[in-house]
C-alpha cells in the first residue's frame, strides 16, 4: 500500500473536526481559571493533563466520526461526501476494527486520568450509541439529535473545567451559553445535507421543519446564548456570538446549504481563534492540521478541502 493511502486511516477520523471538541474543552479550562481568579498563563502542572484530554477526546471523536460514516454510507453516496468509507477506499471491515480500537484507547486514557473522566467518557460513549447506532439512530430525529449534541458539547466543556475545578451546581448556568451555541450550530449543520437526508428517509431538524425555520431557530438559540453570556458575565463567549451573528442573520434571509456551511465554519473558526488569544500554541496546531489536511486531499484525490463549500 502506498504511504499516501495509509493516511486514509488517519483522515477517516475527520481530524479537522477535532477542533470543535478541543475548543470547547479549552473554553471550559479557561472559564474555570477565570472563576478561580487565575491569570491566563497555563502553569506547567496543567500541560500534561491538557495533553491527556486532547488525546482522549481525539480518540473518542475519531470513534464517533467513523461510526457515523459507517452508518451513513448510502447517505454519503447521495450527498457525494465523506467518500473514504462510502467510496470503499477503506474497506468496511477495516473501518469497524479501527473504530473499536479508538474507543478502547479513548476509554483507557480516560481511566488513566481518573474515575470522573472515565465516567464522563462512558456517558459520552452511551450517548454516541444512541446517536449513531441502530435501532436508535437519534441523529435522524429532530429533537433527540439536539439532546445528544447538547450532552456531548457539555461533556467536552466539563472535562476542560475539571482540570482546574471540581463539579459544582453553578456549572450548568456557566455552560449554558456554550450549550445554546452548540445547539445553534447543530441545527445549522442539518441544513448541509437536507436533500440527501430527505432521499434516505432521515428526519433531521431541517427536514422536519424546513430550511427557513431551521435557520431562524438557530438564530434564536444564538441570541439566547448571547443574552445568557452577558448575564453570567462571560464576555468571551458573548463576543464570539456577536461576531457570528452577521453571517447567521444573513442565513435567515438567504437560506442555502452553502450559506449555512459558511456560517458554521466561519463561526467555529472565530471561536477557535478566540481561544488562541489565550493559548497561542493552539493556533499553530490549527495551521498544521489545516495545511496537512489540505495537502492530503489535494495529492490523494485532487479535492479542495478544507473549504467553505456546502459539499465538504
* In the predicted structure, residue 3 carries a pLDDT above the cut 90: no
pLDDT tens for 244-257 read: 999 999 999 999 98
Residue 309 confidence (pLDDT): 59
The mean pLDDT of the chain is: 89
Give the pLDDT band (50/70/90) at residue 311: very low
What per-residue string of b and e applies to 249-287 under the rule 16 or more CB within 10 Å gives b? eebbeebebebbbbbbbbbbbbbbebbbebbeebeebbe
Q: How many helices (H) and strands (E) does the chain have?
A: 16, 0
Spacing of C-alpha 130 from chain mean position: 17
Asked if 163 and 47 touch (Cβ cutoff 8 Å), the reply is: no
C-alpha cell read off for 234: 462571560
Distance CA 82, CA 179 (A): 27
pLDDT tens for 157-168 read: 999 999 989 988
Q: How far apart are the first and last CA of the chain?
A: 26
* In the predicted structure, residue 104 carries a pLDDT above the cut 90: yes
Stronger pLDDT, 107 or 305, i.e. the higher one? 107
* In the predicted structure, residue 307 carries a pLDDT above the cut 80: no
- Can you spell out the DSSP letters for 98-147? HHHHHHHHHHHHHHHH-HHHHHHHHHHHHHHHHHHSTTT-GGGSHHHHHH
Distance CA 116, CA 122 (A): 10
Residue 220 confidence (pLDDT): 97
**Check whether domain 11-39+46-301 has CATH 1.20.1630, yes or no:** no
Residue 77 confidence (pLDDT): 75
248: nearest Cα among 229, 225, 212, 222: 222
pTM for the structure as a whole: 0.90
C-alpha cell read off for 115: 474515575
* In the predicted structure, residue 93 carries a pLDDT above the cut 50: yes
pLDDT tens for 220-269 read: 999 999 999 999 999 999 999 999 999 999 999 999 988 998 899 899 99
Residue 223 confidence (pLDDT): 97
Give the pLDDT band (50/70/90) at residue 80: low
Its sign, for the CA torsion 55, 60, 61, 66, is positive
The residue-averaged pLDDT of 284-300 equals 93
Residue 208 confidence (pLDDT): 92
Distance CA 34, CA 224 (A): 22
Distance CA 225, CA 241 (A): 8
How many percent of the chain have pLDDT more than 70? 96
- Helices 44-71 and 92-113 pack at an angle, to 10 degrees, of 150
* In the predicted structure, residue 35 carries a pLDDT above the cut 90: no
Domain ranges of the chain: 11-39+46-301
C-alpha cell read off for 260: 449555512
How many percent of the chain have pLDDT more than 90? 61
Residue 306 confidence (pLDDT): 84
pLDDT tens for 158-196 read: 999 999 899 888 888 999 999 999 999 999 999 987 877
Amino acid at each position: 500500500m502506498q504511504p499516501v493511502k495509509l493516511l486514509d486511516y488517519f483522515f477517516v477520523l475527520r481530524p479537522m473536526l477535532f477542533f470543535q471538541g478541543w475548543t470547547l474543552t479549552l473554553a471550559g479550562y479557561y472559564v474555570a481559571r477565570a472563576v478561580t481568579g487565575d491569570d491566563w498563563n497555563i502553569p506547567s502542572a496543567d500541560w500534561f493533563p491538557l495533553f491527556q484530554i486532547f488525546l482522549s477526546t481525539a480518540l473518542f471523536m475519531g470513534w464517533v466520526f467513523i461510526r457515523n460514516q459507517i452508518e451513513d454510507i448510502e447517505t454519503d453516496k447521495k450527498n457525494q461526501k465523506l467518500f473514504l468509507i462510502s467510496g470503499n477506499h477503506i474497506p468496511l471491515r477495516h473501518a469497524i476494527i479501527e473504530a473499536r480500537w479508538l474507543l478502547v484507547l479513548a476509554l483507557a486514557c480516560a481511566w488513566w486520568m481518573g474515575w470522573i473522566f472515565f465516567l464522563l467518557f462512558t456517558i459520552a460513549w452511551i450517548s454516541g450509541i444512541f446517536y449513531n447506532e441502530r435501532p436508535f439512530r437519534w441523529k435522524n430525529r429532530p429533537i433527540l439529535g439536539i439532546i445528544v449534541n447538547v450532552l456531548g458539547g457539555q461533556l467536552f466543556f466539563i472535562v476542560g473545567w475539571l482540570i482546574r475545578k471540581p463539579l459544582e451546581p453553578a456549572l450548568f448556568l456557566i455552560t449554558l451559553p456554550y450549550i445554546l451555541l452548540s445547539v445553534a450550530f447543530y441545527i445549522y449543520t442539518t441544513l448541509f445535507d437536507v436533500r440527501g437526508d430527505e432521499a434516505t428517509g432521515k428526519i433531521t431538524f431541517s427536514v422536519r421543519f424546513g430550511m427557513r425555520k431551521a435557520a431562524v431557530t438557530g438564530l434564536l438559540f444564538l441570541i439566547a446564548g448571547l443574552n445568557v453570556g452577558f448575564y453570567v458575565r462571560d464576555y468571551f463567549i458573548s463576543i464570539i456570538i456577536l461576531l457570528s451573528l452577521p453571517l447567521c442573520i444573513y442565513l435567515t434571509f438567504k437560506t442555502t446549504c452553502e450559506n449555512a456551511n459558511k456560517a458554521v465554519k466561519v463561526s467555529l473558526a472565530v471561536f477557535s481563534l478566540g481561544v488562541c488569544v489565550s493559548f497561542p500554541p493552539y493556533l499553530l496546531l490549527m495551521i498544521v492540521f489545516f495545511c496537512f489536511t489540505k495537502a492530503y486531499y489535494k495529492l490523494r484525490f485532487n479535492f479542495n478541502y478544507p473549504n467553505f463549500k456546502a459539499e465538504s
